[in-house]
């Protein structure tokens, strides 16, 4: 069965890169992700919230201020947050 899913450009680009890295198709990765969500026990917490543990969630502020999400932009964002402007 075919379905149309509207994803933002950045998410789709990441999905394509991950599919290529794994040697799989975007379709396969999406189907696997849907299976994981549907087959996992509902523990009352959204999957995205489970991914944001305290240590990982702290990085969200840096990511939000990076503009771009490549390594250089992330390093610059962290440096700005620490007061060590590297730009």
Distances (CA, A) of 52 to 27, 29, 60, 68, 72: 26, 21, 9, 20, 23
User: What pLDDT score was predicted for residue 68?
Assistant: 66
Buried b (16+ CB within 10 A) or exposed e, 61-81: ebeeebeeeeeeebebbbeee
User: What pLDDT score was predicted for residue 37?
Assistant: 86
Could you report the per-residue pLDDT of 18-75, keeping only the tens digit for each? Answer: 999 999 999 999 999 999 888 887 665 555 555 555 555 666 666 666 666 677 776 7
* Whole-angstrom distance, CA of residue 4 vs CA of residue 50: 27
């Amino acid at each position: 069965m075919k379905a149309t899913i509207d994803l933002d450009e950045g998410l789709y680009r990441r999905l394509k890169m991950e599919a290529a890295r794994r040697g799989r198709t975007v379709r396969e990765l999406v189907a696997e992700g849907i299976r994981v969500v549907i087959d996992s026990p509902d523990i009352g917490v959204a999957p995205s919230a489970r991914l944001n543990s305290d240590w990982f969630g702290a990085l969200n502020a840096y990511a939000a201020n990076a503009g771009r999400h490549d390594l250089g932009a992330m390093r610059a964002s962290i440096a700005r947050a620490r007061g060590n402007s590297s730009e």
